[in-house]
C-alpha cells in the first residue's frame, strides 16, 4: 500500500523517517522552514577560511549503539575524533570531565585512584541525607569546593536558574572519574563526518520518492492532505501556542576570526563567572586532519528564548511540567500524526538517540499499517 506522507522538518528525525518510508514505497513530502536541510546539525564551510562550521553549536557524534554507528557510517565517511574538553575556572585550566588529573591539580596533590576516591568521599557533604535540589546533590556527591569551581556558576549561566531551584534528579551520576581518562564521552563509538553533517542528511533525502520543500513551514491545516504526518517542529507551535509557550533556552553564538590557533583545543568551558559565555568552540579543531592558517571561534551565551529565537534546549528542569502535560494530552487526541525528535517531543536528544528513535518509529509505522500495531509515543517519556 502506497501512502502519502508529510514530514515537518529536515533534521535527522525527518530525514531518517523520510528515507525509511520512501524505501518502503511511500510518497514523501518534507517541509522545512529554513533555506537548508540538516536541522540543528547543519554544517557548511566558512566562505573565507574554508573551515567546516557547525552553525547551531558544535556537534560530535558519539554512541553506544552499534547499529546506529553502522547506519551513519554508510551515509558518509567518519574520521576518528575524541572530544577532550578543558575547563577554565578560578584562574586555572583543568581537564574535563573531572578526572584524576583534575582532582590532583585542583587539590595540588599526587593521589592514586583509591586515594582520590577516599578523598572525594571525605569532601562530600555527609550531612545531606535526602538532596532536595541540584546544589544539595552536587555537594553530597563531590563536596563544596569542586561544586563551586565547576558546577555552580556554569549551571546558572547555562540555565538562568539558581542550582538550589533545580531538581536533584538532573545530576544522576557522580560526574567524576578516578583515572586519567579525559575523553568527554564514555561511548565506544565517536567520530566526525569527513565533510560535515549536511551531506549525510542530503544523502538520506536524495530518494526519488522524496520531495523536499525548503522555506516551507508545515501547519496543522495541511495535515488533511496526507495519510500520515511526522512532525519534528516544536510541539507547542503545531497547536499555535494555544496553551502558551513551552520554555526553551536559546544560544547566541558570537563569531570571531583570528590567525593561527586561538585556544589550542576544540572546546573550552568557562565554569566560573569571569566570563558571561559558557564556552568557546574553535571549529578547525573538530577536523584535525585539515590544515587552516586562520581560525574561527564561537563564544556561546545562553539565555531564555523569546518567540523570535531559535529554540535550543527544552527547559525540562522542574518536576512540575503541567503545561507540557497539557500539550501531550492534546497531541494524544490527534489522529494520523506522530510527534518526533527533539522539538516534537520536547526533550534534549543526542543525534544517536534521535536516529535510533526515527528508525524505530519508521519500523513501527510500517508494521502498524500491516498489523494495526500502535506506534511508540516517545513524547510521553
Residue with cell 578516578: 178
Catalytic, out of 135, 300, 352, 356: 300
Tell me how far, at minimum, the Cβ of 276 lies from ligand FAD, in Å: 17
Residue 69 within binding range of ligand FAD, rule CB under 6 A = no
Beta strand pairing call for 267-270 and 86-89: parallel
CA distance 371 to 364: 10
**What's the closest the beta carbon of residue 218 comes to ligand FAD, in angstroms?**
4
d(CA 116, CA 364): 48
Instruction: Please select the residue that binds ligand FAD; options are 218, 226, 286, 327, rule is CB under 6 A.
Output: 218
Whether residue 279 is preceded by a cis peptide bond, meaning omega within 30 degrees of 0, is: no
> CA 22 to CA 70: how far, in whole Å?
20
Q: Does 341 bind ligand FAD (CB under 6 A)?
A: yes
Q: Considering the complex, state which of residue 97 and residue 104 has its C-beta at the smaller distance from ligand FAD.
A: 97
173 has catalytic annotation? yes
Binding of ligand FAD by 312 (CB under 6 A):
yes
Which of 32, 182, 270, 279 is an active site residue? 279
Q: Where are the beta strands (DSSP E) in the chain?
A: 4-8, 27-32, 43-45, 52-54, 61-63, 78-80, 86-89, 92-95, 189-193, 210-214, 228-231, 248-259, 267-270, 279-282, 294-304, 313-314, 337-339
Please confirm, yes or no, whether 300 is among the known catalytic residues.
Answer: yes
Quick one: 58 or 163, whose CB is closer to ligand FAD?
Answer: 58
Cα 330 to its chain centre, rounded Å, is 26
Which one of residues 237, 297, 359, 379 is an interface residue with ligand FAD (CB under 6 A)? 237
Binding mask 178-217 for ligand FAD (x = CB under 6 A): ---------------------------------------x
Contacting residue, 82, 119, 350, 376, with ligand FAD by CB under 6 A: 350
DSSP state of 194: T
| Cα 190 to Cα 188: distance, rounded to the nearest angstrom | 7
Residue 40 near ligand FAD by CB under 6 A: yes
Q: Does 41 bind ligand FAD (CB under 6 A)?
A: yes
**Site residue total, ligand FAD (CB under 6 A):** 36
- Binding site residues, ligand FAD, CB under 6 A: 8-14, 31-34, 39-41, 57-61, 217-218, 232-234, 237, 251, 312-313, 341-343, 349-352, 354
Amino acid at each position: 500500500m502506497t501512502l502519502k506522507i508529510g514530514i515537518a522538518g529536515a533534521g535527522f528525525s525527518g530525514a531518517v523517517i523520510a528515507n525509511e518510508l520512501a524505501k518502503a514505497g511511500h510518497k514523501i513530502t518534507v517541509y522545512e522552514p529554513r533555506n537548508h536541510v540538516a536541522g540543528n546539525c547543519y554544517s557548511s564551510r566558512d566562505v573565507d577560511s574554508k573551515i567546516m562550521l557547525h552553525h547551531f553549536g558544535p556537534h560530535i557524534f558519539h554512541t553506544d549503539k552499534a547499529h546506529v554507528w553502522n547506519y551513519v557510517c554508510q551515509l558518509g565517511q567518519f574520521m576518528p575524533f575524541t572530544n577532550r574538553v578543558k575547563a577554565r575556572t578560578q584562574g586555572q585550566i583543568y581537564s574535563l570531565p573531572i578526572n584524576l588529573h583534575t582532582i590532583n591539580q585542583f587539590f595540588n596533590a599526587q593521589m592514586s585512584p583509591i586515594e582520590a576516591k577516599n578523598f572525594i568521599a571525605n569532601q562530600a557533604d555527609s550531612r545531606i541525607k535526602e538532596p532536595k535540589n541540584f546544589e544539595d546533590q552536587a555537594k553530597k556527591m563531590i563536596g563544596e569546593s569542586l561544586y563551586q569551581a565547576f558546577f555552580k556558576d556554569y549551571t546558572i549561566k547555562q540555565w538562568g536558574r539558581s542550582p538550589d531551584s533545580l531538581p536533584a534528579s538532573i545530576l544522576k551520576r557522580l560526574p567524576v572519574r578516578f583515572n586519567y581518562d579525559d575523553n568527554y564521552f564514555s561511548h565506544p563509538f565517536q567520530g566526525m563526518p569527513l565533510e560535515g553533517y549536511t551531506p549525510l542528511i542530503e544523502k538520506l533525502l536524495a530518494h526519488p520518492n522524496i520531495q523536499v520543500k525548503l522555506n516551507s513551514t508545515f501547519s496543522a491545516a495541511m495535515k488533511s492532505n496526507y495519510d500520515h504526518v511526522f512532525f519534528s517542529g516544536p510541539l507547542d507551535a503545531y497547536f499555535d501556542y494555544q496553551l502558551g509557550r513551552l520554555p526553551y533556552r536559546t544560544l547566541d553564538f558570537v563569531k570571531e576570526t583570528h590567525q593561527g590557533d586561538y585556544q589550542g583545543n576544540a572546546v573550552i568551558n568557562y565554569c566560573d563567572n569571569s566570563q558571561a559565555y559558557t564556552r568557546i568552540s574553535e571549529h578547525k579543531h573538530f577536523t584535525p586532519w585539515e590544515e587552516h592558517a586562520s581560525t574561527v571561534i564561537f563564544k556561546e551565551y545562553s539565555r531564555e528564548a523569546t518567540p523570535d529565537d531559535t529554540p535550543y534546549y527544552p527547559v525540562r528542569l522542574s518536576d512540575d511540567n503541567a503545561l507540557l502535560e497539557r500539550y501531550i494530552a492534546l497531541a494524544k487526541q490527534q489522529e494520523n500524526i506522530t510527534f518526533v525528535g527533539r522539538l516534537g517531543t520536547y526533550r534534549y536528544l543526542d543525534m544517536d538517540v534521535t536516529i535510533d528513535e526515527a528508525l524505530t518509529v519508521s519500523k513501527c509505522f510500517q508494521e502498524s499499517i500491516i498489523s494495526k500495531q500502535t506506534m511508540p509515543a516517545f513524547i510521553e517519556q
